[in-house]
Structure 1
């Protein structure tokens, strides 16, 4: 598949992840009686990724996350020369999704993206649970590292074929169950950027962390799997 086609697939996939995951938080999580809560938002993120794994996984690999792309480069599963096009495509999809979500949400009287937070990631006063910068950094690094570790294991040629998307989608659900109270869960710089631009204030000021920490974690996870667990000779996915 040509690079342009794979990048288009990445844009669509990232759009779906941000619209489905952040949309569930912005549109559905806050109602006292009908709200889906943290657990529902976690499941929404997992479902968006799971569905895209089986929709575009055979086309682009379904990274839909710059940290995943960095991690797969570090893990020897993806060519470094294609990293920038993939990340640009992911950002485009995420920002368009943020714009669509903003358009939908602004149809409700009294909606204010800045005041609501607009599903943005944050630390300190902007952490859902009031967690400090160092807690947010550690959380994002560790969970991003394990996320790429799971992705590489689930798509290894020695793993059962056809089940990788389930493990990866459930992993993202678990990650959200752990870290929504800490950072509102990023582990994905594109997801963070797509909504931060529309929140427009503190979310942009704190966005650096949600690029730096997930990429560091993913690179560590990719290197660990590559050096310790990946088969040195023979086929891997």
Structure 2
């Protein structure tokens, strides 16, 4: 149970500090500040709970890890449950804190969305393309930086920086999800349009993570093991 609890705690951290920055200080720090908050929250969680659970804190990541053949189905489902609970708890704490401030706007809890009236007003097709492609890239970085032979001690930093870059592009498009759990908690408390559009942020990031995992399962992006590299070198030398 320790790894499931770690996933709950890690997702709680991501939602509380990532979405919290958007809600409490978004008008002061802007898109850059919000992006950094999400990335730094992930980096902190990665080094805090990574040794316990791998710090997926994202159902799309767990799906990608499963598709790559690195975890069992039952374990993945346990991760999903823990991640969704962590997001809900994080959004609940944020809701309790935010509504006590004088500048709180009802229904604003860092939820994702698209279309007229939301951020840049980007269309449904734009939201679909961004969430799929951004999640695909994100999970490729995660699977690549944690595979055998990669400098694993730097994985958390590489993943966090990637999340910052993704947010810089995506906040004005969808608020940036690339994480079904991250979208779930805020939407439940925001209600309304956030709930009606939640389907996109549950499905498209999941599809992106799945495709990334399949690419590694097929060894299209998997590093060549050292023995094979040595064999190739010997063949070339001969």
Fold match, TM over 0.5?
A: yes
1:39 aligns with 2:32: yes
- The aligned length equals 226
Whole-Å Cα distance in 1 between the matches of residues 20 and 74 of structure 2?
33
> Which one of the candidate residues 205, 208, 212 is aligned to 2:203?
212
1:23 aligns with 2:20: yes
Residue 222 of structure 2: aligned partner: 230
> Helix, strand or coil: the match of 2:20?
helix
Whole-Å Cα distance in 2 between the matches of residues 110 and 44 of structure 1?
20
1:197 aligns with 2:206: no
> Which one of the candidate residues 120, 136, 141 is aligned to 1:145?
136
Q: Structure 2 unaligned segments of length 5 or more: list them.
A: 228-238
| 1:125 Cα deviation after fit | 1.8
1:72 aligns with 2:69: no
Q: Bigger radius of gyration, 1 or 2?
A: 2
Using structure 2 for the length normalisation, give the TM-score: 0.91
> Which one of the candidate residues 180, 186, 190 is aligned to 2:171?
180
Structure 1, 156-165 or 168-177: larger mean CA deviation: 156-165
| 1:108 Cα deviation after fit | 1.6
* 1:103-122 CA-partner distances (Å, limit 9, x unpaired): 111112363432xx321100
> Helix, strand or coil: the match of 1:162?
helix
* 1:122-160 CA-partner distances (Å, limit 9, x unpaired): 011243111000100000000000111000111111112
Whole-Å Cα distance in 2 between the matches of residues 174 and 225 of structure 1?
23
Residue 101 of structure 2: aligned partner: 108
Whole-Å Cα distance in 2 between the matches of residues 84 and 126 of structure 1?
35
Q: In 1, are the aligned partners of 2:148 and 2:223 still within 8 Å (CA)?
A: no
> Helix, strand or coil: the match of 2:198?
coil
> Helix, strand or coil: the match of 1:185?
coil
> Helix, strand or coil: the match of 2:153?
coil
* 1:44-92 CA-partner distances (Å, limit 9, x unpaired): 0000001111111110010001111111111112212211111110111
Residue 162 of structure 2: aligned partner: 171
| 1:233 Cα deviation after fit | 6.0
> Which one of the candidate residues 91, 101, 104 is aligned to 1:98?
91
Whole-Å Cα distance in 2 between the matches of residues 128 and 15 of structure 1?
24
Q: In 2, are the aligned partners of 1:113 and 1:198 still within 8 Å (CA)?
A: no
Residue 54 of structure 2: aligned partner: 61
Whole-Å Cα distance in 2 between the matches of residues 164 and 96 of structure 1?
27
